[in-house]
Chains A and B, each alone.
Chain A
Amino acid sequence: MSEIREVPPAETKDEPAEVVGQTGVQGMLRRRLTETTTWTFLILLGIVVGFAALRFEQFATVFNFRNIAADASGLLILAVGMTFVIITAGIDLSVGSVLVFSGVIAGKVMLALGGEGWGAIGAGLVAGLAAGLAWGVVNGVLVTKARVPPLIVTLGTLGMALGSALLITGGIDVRGIPLQLTTTVGIGQLAGVPYVVLIAAVVTAAGAILLSMTRFGRYTYAIGSNAEAARRAGINVDRHLIKVYALSGLLAGLAGMVSLARFATTTIGGHSTDNLAAIAAVVLGGTSLFGGIGTVLGTVVGVFIPAVLQNGFVILGVQPFWQQVAVGAVLIVAVYIDQLKRRAQERGERR
Protein backbone atom coordinates (compact mmCIF):
# COMPACT_ATOMS: atom_id res chain seq x y z
CA MET A 1 0.00 0.00 0.00
CA SER A 2 2.73 2.44 0.90
CA GLU A 3 4.85 1.83 -2.13
CA ILE A 4 4.39 3.58 -5.41
CA ARG A 5 3.82 1.26 -8.30
CA GLU A 6 6.40 1.86 -10.96
CA VAL A 7 5.00 3.14 -14.20
CA PRO A 8 7.29 2.19 -17.05
CA PRO A 9 9.18 5.42 -17.63
CA ALA A 10 8.99 7.40 -20.82
CA GLU A 11 12.34 8.69 -21.98
CA THR A 12 13.10 9.62 -18.39
CA LYS A 13 14.27 13.18 -18.17
CA ASP A 14 15.94 14.11 -14.95
CA GLU A 15 16.17 17.80 -15.77
CA PRO A 16 12.54 18.73 -15.13
CA ALA A 17 12.72 17.37 -11.58
CA GLU A 18 15.82 19.43 -10.84
CA VAL A 19 14.37 22.60 -12.28
CA VAL A 20 11.40 22.01 -10.03
CA GLY A 21 13.70 21.77 -7.01
CA GLN A 22 15.53 25.02 -7.75
CA THR A 23 12.55 27.25 -8.40
CA GLY A 24 10.82 25.58 -5.46
CA VAL A 25 12.88 27.62 -3.01
CA GLN A 26 12.17 30.86 -4.83
CA GLY A 27 8.52 29.91 -5.03
CA MET A 28 8.46 29.30 -1.31
CA LEU A 29 9.97 32.72 -0.61
CA ARG A 30 7.50 34.37 -2.93
CA ARG A 31 4.61 32.61 -1.25
CA ARG A 32 5.89 33.62 2.19
CA LEU A 33 5.91 37.28 1.17
CA THR A 34 2.34 37.20 -0.09
CA GLU A 35 0.92 35.30 2.88
CA THR A 36 -1.52 37.13 5.12
CA THR A 37 0.46 35.88 8.11
CA THR A 38 3.51 37.82 6.99
CA TRP A 39 1.51 41.03 6.73
CA THR A 40 -0.17 40.65 10.08
CA PHE A 41 3.18 39.82 11.66
CA LEU A 42 4.55 43.09 10.26
CA ILE A 43 1.52 44.90 11.67
CA LEU A 44 2.21 43.37 15.09
CA LEU A 45 5.86 44.33 14.83
CA GLY A 46 4.87 47.87 13.86
CA ILE A 47 2.54 48.15 16.84
CA VAL A 48 5.23 46.90 19.23
CA VAL A 49 7.84 49.26 17.77
CA GLY A 50 5.36 52.13 17.86
CA PHE A 51 4.50 51.69 21.54
CA ALA A 52 8.16 51.12 22.39
CA ALA A 53 9.08 54.39 20.67
CA LEU A 54 6.36 56.31 22.52
CA ARG A 55 6.83 54.89 26.02
CA PHE A 56 9.97 52.82 26.04
CA GLU A 57 10.46 52.64 29.83
CA GLN A 58 6.95 51.47 30.57
CA PHE A 59 6.19 49.38 27.53
CA ALA A 60 9.38 47.59 26.59
CA THR A 61 10.04 45.88 29.89
CA VAL A 62 10.28 42.22 30.77
CA PHE A 63 7.59 42.80 33.38
CA ASN A 64 5.18 44.27 30.85
CA PHE A 65 5.75 41.61 28.19
CA ARG A 66 5.31 38.96 30.87
CA ASN A 67 1.94 40.49 31.75
CA ILE A 68 0.81 40.69 28.15
CA ALA A 69 1.71 37.04 27.62
CA ALA A 70 0.03 35.89 30.83
CA ASP A 71 -3.15 37.80 29.96
CA ALA A 72 -3.20 36.32 26.48
CA SER A 73 -2.46 32.72 27.52
CA GLY A 74 -6.08 31.57 27.94
CA LEU A 75 -7.17 33.08 24.64
CA LEU A 76 -4.16 31.54 22.90
CA ILE A 77 -5.14 28.06 24.07
CA LEU A 78 -8.69 28.57 22.76
CA ALA A 79 -7.41 30.01 19.50
CA VAL A 80 -5.13 27.03 18.79
CA GLY A 81 -8.16 24.72 18.86
CA MET A 82 -10.17 27.24 16.83
CA THR A 83 -7.44 27.24 14.17
CA PHE A 84 -8.00 23.54 13.48
CA VAL A 85 -11.78 24.00 13.37
CA ILE A 86 -11.67 26.96 10.98
CA ILE A 87 -9.17 25.21 8.68
CA THR A 88 -11.81 22.49 8.19
CA ALA A 89 -14.12 25.35 7.08
CA GLY A 90 -16.02 25.02 10.36
CA ILE A 91 -16.54 27.33 13.33
CA ASP A 92 -16.82 26.79 17.09
CA LEU A 93 -18.85 29.46 18.88
CA SER A 94 -19.14 27.39 22.05
CA VAL A 95 -15.53 27.66 23.32
CA GLY A 96 -16.17 30.43 25.88
CA SER A 97 -19.17 28.63 27.36
CA VAL A 98 -17.35 25.30 27.37
CA LEU A 99 -14.46 27.04 29.17
CA VAL A 100 -16.88 28.23 31.86
CA PHE A 101 -18.64 24.86 32.10
CA SER A 102 -15.34 22.98 32.43
CA GLY A 103 -14.15 25.44 35.08
CA VAL A 104 -17.36 24.93 37.06
CA ILE A 105 -17.08 21.13 36.87
CA ALA A 106 -13.39 21.25 37.83
CA GLY A 107 -14.11 23.67 40.70
CA LYS A 108 -16.97 21.54 42.02
CA VAL A 109 -14.87 18.37 41.87
CA MET A 110 -11.98 20.05 43.69
CA LEU A 111 -14.35 21.36 46.38
CA ALA A 112 -15.96 17.95 46.78
CA LEU A 113 -12.51 16.45 47.37
CA GLY A 114 -11.75 18.83 50.21
CA GLY A 115 -10.73 21.93 48.29
CA GLU A 116 -7.00 21.52 48.70
CA GLY A 117 -4.04 19.35 47.82
CA TRP A 118 -2.65 18.16 44.52
CA GLY A 119 -4.89 15.10 44.52
CA ALA A 120 -7.98 17.30 44.39
CA ILE A 121 -6.35 19.51 41.75
CA GLY A 122 -5.49 16.48 39.60
CA ALA A 123 -9.02 15.14 39.85
CA GLY A 124 -10.41 18.58 39.02
CA LEU A 125 -8.13 18.84 36.00
CA VAL A 126 -9.22 15.47 34.67
CA ALA A 127 -12.89 16.34 35.24
CA GLY A 128 -12.52 19.75 33.57
CA LEU A 129 -10.73 18.33 30.54
CA ALA A 130 -13.28 15.52 30.25
CA ALA A 131 -16.12 18.04 30.38
CA GLY A 132 -14.56 20.13 27.62
CA LEU A 133 -13.85 17.04 25.53
CA ALA A 134 -17.44 15.87 25.93
CA TRP A 135 -18.86 19.15 24.62
CA GLY A 136 -16.43 18.99 21.71
CA VAL A 137 -17.56 15.48 20.83
CA VAL A 138 -21.20 16.61 21.01
CA ASN A 139 -20.37 19.45 18.59
CA GLY A 140 -18.53 17.12 16.22
CA VAL A 141 -21.21 14.42 16.19
CA LEU A 142 -23.97 16.95 15.55
CA VAL A 143 -22.00 18.59 12.73
CA THR A 144 -21.11 15.33 10.98
CA LYS A 145 -23.92 12.88 11.75
CA ALA A 146 -26.89 15.21 12.13
CA ARG A 147 -25.53 17.47 9.36
CA VAL A 148 -26.49 20.65 11.20
CA PRO A 149 -24.21 23.53 10.13
CA PRO A 150 -21.39 24.16 12.66
CA LEU A 151 -22.50 27.76 13.18
CA ILE A 152 -25.87 26.54 14.48
CA VAL A 153 -24.58 23.50 16.38
CA THR A 154 -22.03 25.51 18.31
CA LEU A 155 -24.45 28.40 18.83
CA GLY A 156 -26.74 25.83 20.40
CA THR A 157 -24.06 24.28 22.60
CA LEU A 158 -22.86 27.79 23.53
CA GLY A 159 -26.23 28.32 25.20
CA MET A 160 -26.47 24.79 26.56
CA ALA A 161 -23.00 24.77 28.14
CA LEU A 162 -23.39 28.20 29.73
CA GLY A 163 -26.94 27.44 30.87
CA SER A 164 -25.78 24.16 32.42
CA ALA A 165 -22.96 25.95 34.22
CA LEU A 166 -25.48 28.45 35.63
CA LEU A 167 -27.86 25.65 36.64
CA ILE A 168 -25.08 23.78 38.47
CA THR A 169 -23.92 26.87 40.34
CA GLY A 170 -27.19 28.72 40.71
CA GLY A 171 -25.47 31.59 38.97
CA ILE A 172 -22.93 32.13 41.72
CA ASP A 173 -19.25 31.72 40.93
CA VAL A 174 -17.52 28.72 42.49
CA ARG A 175 -14.94 29.86 45.01
CA GLY A 176 -12.56 27.98 47.26
CA ILE A 177 -10.24 26.83 44.49
CA PRO A 178 -7.23 25.03 46.06
CA LEU A 179 -4.61 27.54 47.12
CA GLN A 180 -1.80 25.42 45.69
CA LEU A 181 -3.30 25.85 42.23
CA THR A 182 -3.55 29.63 42.33
CA THR A 183 -0.21 30.25 44.02
CA THR A 184 1.77 27.97 41.68
CA VAL A 185 0.09 27.69 38.29
CA GLY A 186 -1.88 30.89 38.73
CA ILE A 187 0.81 33.39 39.64
CA GLY A 188 4.00 31.32 39.82
CA GLN A 189 6.90 31.47 37.41
CA LEU A 190 9.54 29.11 36.15
CA ALA A 191 12.82 30.91 35.36
CA GLY A 192 10.92 34.17 35.05
CA VAL A 193 8.21 32.76 32.79
CA PRO A 194 4.72 32.45 34.27
CA TYR A 195 3.40 28.89 34.35
CA VAL A 196 0.28 29.88 32.41
CA VAL A 197 2.49 31.21 29.63
CA LEU A 198 4.47 27.95 29.64
CA ILE A 199 1.26 25.94 29.39
CA ALA A 200 0.03 28.09 26.49
CA ALA A 201 3.43 27.82 24.79
CA VAL A 202 3.46 24.03 25.07
CA VAL A 203 -0.09 23.83 23.71
CA THR A 204 0.82 26.17 20.87
CA ALA A 205 3.97 24.25 19.95
CA ALA A 206 2.14 20.93 20.08
CA GLY A 207 -0.68 22.37 17.97
CA ALA A 208 1.74 23.78 15.42
CA ILE A 209 3.57 20.45 15.11
CA LEU A 210 0.32 18.50 14.90
CA LEU A 211 -1.03 20.76 12.17
CA SER A 212 2.05 21.11 10.01
CA MET A 213 3.89 17.83 10.39
CA THR A 214 1.42 15.01 10.95
CA ARG A 215 -1.24 13.11 9.08
CA PHE A 216 -3.85 14.59 11.43
CA GLY A 217 -2.91 18.07 10.24
CA ARG A 218 -2.82 17.01 6.60
CA TYR A 219 -6.36 15.61 6.85
CA THR A 220 -7.50 18.81 8.55
CA TYR A 221 -6.30 20.86 5.58
CA ALA A 222 -7.61 18.36 3.02
CA ILE A 223 -11.12 18.32 4.49
CA GLY A 224 -11.27 22.11 4.58
CA SER A 225 -9.95 22.31 1.05
CA ASN A 226 -12.23 19.72 -0.58
CA ALA A 227 -14.18 17.43 1.72
CA GLU A 228 -15.50 15.34 -1.19
CA ALA A 229 -11.99 14.75 -2.53
CA ALA A 230 -10.88 13.73 0.96
CA ARG A 231 -13.79 11.31 1.17
CA ARG A 232 -12.98 9.80 -2.21
CA ALA A 233 -9.34 9.47 -1.16
CA GLY A 234 -10.50 7.18 1.62
CA ILE A 235 -10.22 9.65 4.51
CA ASN A 236 -12.89 9.12 7.17
CA VAL A 237 -14.07 12.73 7.06
CA ASP A 238 -16.73 12.43 9.76
CA ARG A 239 -14.41 10.78 12.26
CA HIS A 240 -11.71 13.37 11.63
CA LEU A 241 -14.12 16.30 12.04
CA ILE A 242 -15.35 14.85 15.35
CA LYS A 243 -11.72 14.68 16.50
CA VAL A 244 -11.14 18.31 15.48
CA TYR A 245 -14.19 19.58 17.40
CA ALA A 246 -13.19 17.34 20.32
CA LEU A 247 -9.73 18.94 20.30
CA SER A 248 -11.31 22.40 20.40
CA GLY A 249 -13.48 21.33 23.34
CA LEU A 250 -10.54 19.75 25.15
CA LEU A 251 -8.48 22.93 24.81
CA ALA A 252 -11.45 24.98 26.03
CA GLY A 253 -11.46 22.70 29.08
CA LEU A 254 -7.75 23.34 29.60
CA ALA A 255 -8.30 27.09 29.21
CA GLY A 256 -10.98 26.75 31.89
CA MET A 257 -8.39 25.29 34.27
CA VAL A 258 -5.94 28.08 33.44
CA SER A 259 -8.66 30.63 34.12
CA LEU A 260 -9.43 28.97 37.48
CA ALA A 261 -5.78 29.05 38.43
CA ARG A 262 -5.38 32.72 37.55
CA PHE A 263 -8.58 34.13 39.02
CA ALA A 264 -9.23 31.62 41.84
CA THR A 265 -12.88 31.54 40.81
CA THR A 266 -14.97 30.45 37.83
CA THR A 267 -15.65 33.89 36.27
CA ILE A 268 -18.94 32.66 34.78
CA GLY A 269 -19.84 36.06 33.33
CA GLY A 270 -16.38 36.86 31.98
CA HIS A 271 -16.13 34.75 28.82
CA SER A 272 -19.11 35.72 26.70
CA THR A 273 -16.92 37.19 23.93
CA ASP A 274 -14.06 34.67 24.12
CA ASN A 275 -15.41 32.84 21.07
CA LEU A 276 -15.36 35.98 18.93
CA ALA A 277 -11.94 36.98 20.25
CA ALA A 278 -10.58 33.53 19.32
CA ILE A 279 -12.16 33.61 15.85
CA ALA A 280 -10.83 37.12 15.26
CA ALA A 281 -7.33 36.05 16.32
CA VAL A 282 -7.39 33.02 14.02
CA VAL A 283 -8.61 35.04 11.05
CA LEU A 284 -6.15 37.85 11.75
CA GLY A 285 -3.45 35.20 11.67
CA GLY A 286 -4.23 34.39 8.06
CA THR A 287 -6.47 31.35 8.45
CA SER A 288 -9.18 31.33 5.81
CA LEU A 289 -12.81 31.08 6.91
CA PHE A 290 -13.36 29.12 3.69
CA GLY A 291 -11.06 26.39 4.95
CA GLY A 292 -7.90 24.72 3.73
CA ILE A 293 -5.50 27.52 4.69
CA GLY A 294 -4.00 28.58 8.00
CA THR A 295 -1.20 28.15 10.52
CA VAL A 296 -0.89 28.05 14.29
CA LEU A 297 1.97 30.54 14.10
CA GLY A 298 -0.34 33.01 12.38
CA THR A 299 -2.85 32.52 15.16
CA VAL A 300 -0.18 33.43 17.73
CA VAL A 301 0.32 36.73 15.89
CA GLY A 302 -3.44 37.18 15.71
CA VAL A 303 -3.78 36.71 19.47
CA PHE A 304 -1.07 39.20 20.30
CA ILE A 305 -2.22 42.09 18.09
CA PRO A 306 -5.28 42.83 20.27
CA ALA A 307 -3.34 41.99 23.45
CA VAL A 308 -0.50 44.40 22.67
CA LEU A 309 -2.89 47.12 21.51
CA GLN A 310 -4.88 46.87 24.73
CA ASN A 311 -1.74 47.04 26.84
CA GLY A 312 -0.22 49.88 24.86
CA PHE A 313 -3.36 52.01 24.96
CA VAL A 314 -3.53 51.63 28.74
CA ILE A 315 0.10 52.73 29.05
CA LEU A 316 -0.46 55.67 26.70
CA GLY A 317 -3.54 56.70 28.64
CA VAL A 318 -5.72 56.26 25.56
CA GLN A 319 -9.14 54.94 26.40
CA PRO A 320 -8.71 51.14 26.11
CA PHE A 321 -12.03 50.99 24.24
CA TRP A 322 -10.05 52.13 21.22
CA GLN A 323 -8.50 48.69 21.21
CA GLN A 324 -11.81 47.16 20.12
CA VAL A 325 -12.18 49.73 17.36
CA ALA A 326 -8.63 49.17 16.13
CA VAL A 327 -8.84 45.37 16.22
CA GLY A 328 -12.15 45.46 14.36
CA ALA A 329 -10.59 47.58 11.63
CA VAL A 330 -7.49 45.39 11.35
CA LEU A 331 -9.70 42.29 11.15
CA ILE A 332 -11.71 43.69 8.26
CA VAL A 333 -8.55 44.76 6.42
CA ALA A 334 -7.02 41.30 6.89
CA VAL A 335 -10.05 39.54 5.43
CA TYR A 336 -10.30 42.12 2.66
CA ILE A 337 -6.72 41.33 1.60
CA ASP A 338 -7.56 37.60 1.75
CA GLN A 339 -10.56 38.20 -0.52
CA LEU A 340 -8.51 40.22 -3.00
CA LYS A 341 -6.02 37.37 -3.23
CA ARG A 342 -8.78 34.83 -3.75
CA ARG A 343 -10.33 36.86 -6.53
CA ALA A 344 -6.94 37.16 -8.22
CA GLN A 345 -6.56 33.40 -7.87
CA GLU A 346 -9.97 32.69 -9.40
CA ARG A 347 -9.09 34.89 -12.35
CA GLY A 348 -5.92 32.84 -12.65
CA GLU A 349 -7.95 29.62 -12.72
CA ARG A 350 -9.71 30.66 -15.89
CA ARG A 351 -6.44 30.73 -17.80
Chain B
Amino acid sequence: MSEPLLEARGIVKSFGGVRALRGADFAVHPGEVAALVGDNGAGKSTLVKILSGTLAPDGGEIWFEGRQVTIPNPVVARELGIETVYQDLALAPELDPAANLFLGRELVRPGPLGRLGFLDKAAMRRQTNKAFADLGIGLQDSGAMVANLSGGQRQSVAVSRAATWASKVVFMDEPTAALGVVQSARVRDLIRRVRDSGIAVVLISHNMPEVMELADRIEVLRLGIRVTRIRAADTTMEQVIAAMTGALGNEEVA
Protein backbone atom coordinates (compact mmCIF):
# COMPACT_ATOMS: atom_id res chain seq x y z
CA MET B 1 0.00 0.00 0.00
CA SER B 2 1.06 3.62 -0.59
CA GLU B 3 2.74 5.74 2.01
CA PRO B 4 0.29 7.05 4.64
CA LEU B 5 -0.98 10.57 4.11
CA LEU B 6 -1.43 11.21 7.81
CA GLU B 7 0.08 9.04 10.47
CA ALA B 8 0.09 9.15 14.25
CA ARG B 9 2.89 7.31 16.04
CA GLY B 10 2.79 6.51 19.73
CA ILE B 11 0.49 9.35 20.73
CA VAL B 12 0.18 9.79 24.50
CA LYS B 13 -2.39 11.99 26.20
CA SER B 14 -3.51 12.14 29.83
CA PHE B 15 -6.28 14.13 31.46
CA GLY B 16 -5.25 14.45 35.09
CA GLY B 17 -4.71 10.87 36.17
CA VAL B 18 -6.64 9.36 33.29
CA ARG B 19 -4.50 8.09 30.43
CA ALA B 20 -6.75 8.50 27.43
CA LEU B 21 -4.10 7.53 24.87
CA ARG B 22 -1.23 5.24 25.77
CA GLY B 23 0.95 5.28 22.68
CA ALA B 24 -1.75 5.11 20.03
CA ASP B 25 -0.89 4.63 16.34
CA PHE B 26 -3.09 5.49 13.42
CA ALA B 27 -2.68 5.92 9.67
CA VAL B 28 -4.84 6.99 6.77
CA HIS B 29 -3.93 6.83 3.08
CA PRO B 30 -5.03 9.04 0.19
CA GLY B 31 -8.32 8.07 -1.35
CA GLU B 32 -9.47 5.66 1.32
CA VAL B 33 -12.07 5.62 4.03
CA ALA B 34 -10.38 4.56 7.24
CA ALA B 35 -12.76 3.79 10.06
CA LEU B 36 -11.51 4.50 13.55
CA VAL B 37 -13.57 2.34 15.87
CA GLY B 38 -13.48 1.46 19.52
CA ASP B 39 -15.68 1.21 22.56
CA ASN B 40 -16.59 4.25 24.64
CA GLY B 41 -13.45 5.60 26.29
CA ALA B 42 -11.11 3.95 23.81
CA GLY B 43 -9.67 7.36 22.97
CA LYS B 44 -11.14 7.91 19.49
CA SER B 45 -12.34 11.45 20.05
CA THR B 46 -9.13 12.40 21.87
CA LEU B 47 -7.06 11.11 18.95
CA VAL B 48 -9.20 13.00 16.45
CA LYS B 49 -8.91 16.20 18.47
CA ILE B 50 -5.12 15.85 18.54
CA LEU B 51 -4.93 15.21 14.79
CA SER B 52 -7.24 18.15 14.02
CA GLY B 53 -5.36 20.58 16.25
CA THR B 54 -7.84 21.17 19.07
CA LEU B 55 -5.82 19.22 21.66
CA ALA B 56 -2.05 19.08 22.19
CA PRO B 57 -0.60 15.59 22.72
CA ASP B 58 1.68 14.83 25.68
CA GLY B 59 3.92 12.70 23.49
CA GLY B 60 4.26 10.93 20.16
CA GLU B 61 4.75 12.00 16.58
CA ILE B 62 2.44 13.14 13.77
CA TRP B 63 3.59 12.57 10.20
CA PHE B 64 1.93 14.24 7.24
CA GLU B 65 2.91 13.54 3.63
CA GLY B 66 6.17 11.99 4.71
CA ARG B 67 7.38 14.67 7.11
CA GLN B 68 6.95 15.16 10.81
CA VAL B 69 4.58 17.99 11.72
CA THR B 70 3.01 19.59 14.76
CA ILE B 71 -0.62 20.67 14.65
CA PRO B 72 -0.88 23.18 17.49
CA ASN B 73 -4.23 24.64 16.46
CA PRO B 74 -7.10 24.14 14.01
CA VAL B 75 -5.76 26.80 11.65
CA VAL B 76 -2.61 24.76 11.03
CA ALA B 77 -4.77 21.69 10.43
CA ARG B 78 -6.82 23.65 7.89
CA GLU B 79 -3.68 24.85 6.13
CA LEU B 80 -2.58 21.23 5.82
CA GLY B 81 -5.94 20.47 4.19
CA ILE B 82 -7.45 18.69 7.19
CA GLU B 83 -11.11 19.37 8.04
CA THR B 84 -13.21 17.97 10.85
CA VAL B 85 -16.91 17.40 11.40
CA TYR B 86 -17.11 17.56 15.17
CA GLN B 87 -19.59 15.49 17.10
CA ASP B 88 -21.08 18.70 18.55
CA LEU B 89 -21.05 20.13 14.97
CA ALA B 90 -19.34 23.40 16.04
CA LEU B 91 -21.92 25.56 14.26
CA ALA B 92 -22.93 29.08 15.23
CA PRO B 93 -26.68 28.57 15.81
CA GLU B 94 -27.62 32.24 15.40
CA LEU B 95 -26.00 32.49 11.96
CA ASP B 96 -27.44 31.17 8.71
CA PRO B 97 -26.04 28.13 6.85
CA ALA B 98 -23.98 30.24 4.42
CA ALA B 99 -22.36 32.14 7.27
CA ASN B 100 -21.52 28.83 8.95
CA LEU B 101 -20.13 27.26 5.78
CA PHE B 102 -17.79 30.22 5.33
CA LEU B 103 -17.05 30.81 9.03
CA GLY B 104 -13.45 32.00 9.29
CA ARG B 105 -13.11 31.98 5.48
CA GLU B 106 -15.53 34.73 4.55
CA LEU B 107 -15.47 35.92 0.97
CA VAL B 108 -15.01 39.66 0.65
CA ARG B 109 -16.05 41.88 -2.21
CA PRO B 110 -13.56 42.65 -4.93
CA GLY B 111 -11.70 45.94 -4.83
CA PRO B 112 -11.24 48.47 -2.03
CA LEU B 113 -14.48 47.52 -0.22
CA GLY B 114 -13.10 44.00 0.13
CA ARG B 115 -9.90 45.30 1.67
CA LEU B 116 -12.07 47.06 4.25
CA GLY B 117 -13.61 43.69 5.06
CA PHE B 118 -16.96 44.07 3.29
CA LEU B 119 -18.51 40.63 2.85
CA ASP B 120 -19.66 39.27 -0.48
CA LYS B 121 -22.82 37.73 0.93
CA ALA B 122 -24.37 37.01 -2.46
CA ALA B 123 -21.38 34.95 -3.59
CA MET B 124 -21.30 33.04 -0.31
CA ARG B 125 -25.03 32.34 -0.51
CA ARG B 126 -24.68 31.18 -4.12
CA GLN B 127 -21.78 28.82 -3.41
CA THR B 128 -23.56 27.49 -0.33
CA ASN B 129 -26.68 26.72 -2.34
CA LYS B 130 -24.52 24.95 -4.89
CA ALA B 131 -22.72 22.94 -2.21
CA PHE B 132 -26.07 21.93 -0.73
CA ALA B 133 -27.48 21.05 -4.13
CA ASP B 134 -24.46 18.82 -4.80
CA LEU B 135 -25.10 17.12 -1.49
CA GLY B 136 -28.79 16.78 -2.23
CA ILE B 137 -29.70 18.90 0.77
CA GLY B 138 -32.89 20.88 0.23
CA LEU B 139 -33.35 23.67 2.73
CA GLN B 140 -36.73 25.39 2.68
CA ASP B 141 -35.29 28.64 3.90
CA SER B 142 -31.56 29.11 3.38
CA GLY B 143 -31.66 32.44 5.20
CA ALA B 144 -32.95 30.91 8.44
CA MET B 145 -30.79 30.64 11.51
CA VAL B 146 -29.13 27.26 11.94
CA ALA B 147 -30.88 27.08 15.34
CA ASN B 148 -34.19 26.81 13.49
CA LEU B 149 -33.08 23.82 11.39
CA SER B 150 -33.74 20.24 12.33
CA GLY B 151 -30.93 18.11 13.75
CA GLY B 152 -30.40 16.41 10.44
CA GLN B 153 -30.25 19.64 8.52
CA ARG B 154 -27.69 21.01 10.96
CA GLN B 155 -25.58 17.89 10.55
CA SER B 156 -25.80 18.36 6.79
CA VAL B 157 -24.49 21.91 7.11
CA ALA B 158 -21.52 20.72 9.19
CA VAL B 159 -20.73 17.84 6.83
CA SER B 160 -20.93 19.96 3.71
CA ARG B 161 -18.70 22.57 5.33
CA ALA B 162 -15.95 20.02 5.93
CA ALA B 163 -16.43 18.41 2.52
CA THR B 164 -16.25 21.79 0.83
CA TRP B 165 -12.95 22.86 2.35
CA ALA B 166 -10.94 19.68 2.87
CA SER B 167 -8.20 19.05 0.32
CA LYS B 168 -6.38 16.14 2.03
CA VAL B 169 -8.18 14.62 5.03
CA VAL B 170 -11.69 14.82 6.48
CA PHE B 171 -12.37 13.62 10.00
CA MET B 172 -16.00 12.74 10.57
CA ASP B 173 -16.95 12.12 14.19
CA GLU B 174 -20.28 10.27 14.11
CA PRO B 175 -21.43 12.05 10.94
CA THR B 176 -24.76 10.27 10.65
CA ALA B 177 -25.65 9.87 14.32
CA ALA B 178 -28.45 12.44 14.24
CA LEU B 179 -29.66 11.80 10.72
CA GLY B 180 -32.71 10.08 9.31
CA VAL B 181 -32.51 7.20 6.87
CA VAL B 182 -32.55 9.29 3.69
CA GLN B 183 -30.08 11.89 4.94
CA SER B 184 -27.75 9.17 6.28
CA ALA B 185 -27.68 7.60 2.86
CA ARG B 186 -26.85 10.97 1.33
CA VAL B 187 -24.00 11.56 3.75
CA ARG B 188 -22.68 8.06 2.97
CA ASP B 189 -22.86 8.95 -0.73
CA LEU B 190 -20.99 12.13 -0.02
CA ILE B 191 -18.30 10.29 1.92
CA ARG B 192 -17.75 7.99 -1.06
CA ARG B 193 -17.60 10.92 -3.47
CA VAL B 194 -15.09 12.72 -1.26
CA ARG B 195 -12.97 9.58 -1.15
CA ASP B 196 -13.22 9.08 -4.92
CA SER B 197 -11.86 12.59 -5.43
CA GLY B 198 -8.65 11.41 -3.75
CA ILE B 199 -9.23 12.71 -0.24
CA ALA B 200 -8.69 10.58 2.82
CA VAL B 201 -11.74 10.16 5.02
CA VAL B 202 -11.45 9.14 8.66
CA LEU B 203 -14.79 7.85 9.88
CA ILE B 204 -15.46 7.61 13.60
CA SER B 205 -18.65 5.69 14.13
CA HIS B 206 -20.47 3.37 16.51
CA ASN B 207 -22.67 2.20 13.70
CA MET B 208 -20.96 -1.07 12.74
CA PRO B 209 -23.04 -1.84 9.64
CA GLU B 210 -22.18 1.65 8.39
CA VAL B 211 -18.49 1.08 9.11
CA MET B 212 -18.53 -2.27 7.27
CA GLU B 213 -20.32 -0.67 4.33
CA LEU B 214 -18.14 2.42 3.96
CA ALA B 215 -14.68 1.63 5.26
CA ASP B 216 -11.78 0.44 3.12
CA ARG B 217 -9.72 -0.18 6.22
CA ILE B 218 -10.63 -0.42 9.88
CA GLU B 219 -8.37 0.56 12.76
CA VAL B 220 -9.49 -0.49 16.22
CA LEU B 221 -8.57 1.44 19.37
CA ARG B 222 -8.91 -0.16 22.76
CA LEU B 223 -7.97 1.54 26.04
CA GLY B 224 -5.83 4.13 24.27
CA ILE B 225 -3.88 1.76 22.01
CA ARG B 226 -4.41 0.53 18.48
CA VAL B 227 -5.07 -3.16 18.77
CA THR B 228 -6.04 -4.02 15.19
CA ARG B 229 -5.72 -2.67 11.66
CA ILE B 230 -7.37 -4.62 8.93
CA ARG B 231 -8.85 -4.31 5.46
CA ALA B 232 -12.61 -4.21 5.72
CA ALA B 233 -12.96 -6.77 2.95
CA ASP B 234 -10.89 -9.27 4.94
CA THR B 235 -12.89 -9.21 8.12
CA THR B 236 -16.35 -9.51 9.59
CA MET B 237 -18.33 -7.37 11.96
CA GLU B 238 -17.97 -10.01 14.65
CA GLN B 239 -14.18 -9.92 14.42
CA VAL B 240 -14.09 -6.13 14.66
CA ILE B 241 -16.39 -6.13 17.67
CA ALA B 242 -14.27 -8.80 19.27
CA ALA B 243 -11.19 -6.61 18.81
CA MET B 244 -13.03 -3.61 20.25
CA THR B 245 -14.07 -5.46 23.37
CA GLY B 246 -10.76 -7.27 23.85
CA ALA B 247 -12.08 -10.73 23.16
CA LEU B 248 -9.61 -11.07 20.28
CA GLY B 249 -6.43 -10.05 22.12
CA ASN B 250 -3.87 -7.53 20.96
CA GLU B 251 -2.70 -9.02 17.70
CA GLU B 252 -1.72 -6.99 14.69
CA VAL B 253 -3.45 -8.04 11.52
CA ALA B 254 -1.83 -6.19 8.63
Which residues of A line the B interface, CB within 8 A?
Answer: 1-2, 4-5, 7-10, 12-14, 16-17, 19-21, 23-24, 26-28, 31, 213-216, 218, 221-222, 224-226, 228-235, 291-293, 345, 348-349, 351
Contact = CB atoms under 8 A, between A and B. Distances in A.
Contacts of A7: 131, 134-135, 163-164, 190, 193-194, 197
A218 B99 contact: yes
A298 to B, nearest CB: 14
Contact of B134 (A12, A19, A31, A213): A12
A215 B108 contact: yes
Contacts of A31: 143-144
Nearest to A291: B94
B236 interface: no
A4 B164 contact: yes
B54 interface: yes
B140 A232 contact: no
Given A232-B86, A234-B75, A17 B129 contact: yes
Interface stretch (B111-119, B218-226, B246-254): B111-119
Given A2-B107, A214-B116, A16 B132 contact: yes
Contacts of B163: 7
Given A293-B94, A351-B151, A230 B134 contact: no
Interface string B184-209: 00000110011011000000000000
Interface residues on B, range: 35 or more
Given A1-B105, A7-B164, A215-B106, A226 B119 contact: no
A114 B164 CA distance: 63
Contacts of B86: 232
B237 interface: no
Given A214-B116, A214-B119, A226-B92, A5 B133 contact: no
Interface in B83-101: 84, 86, 90-95, 99
Contacts of A348: 148
Interface in B73-88: 73-75, 78, 84, 86
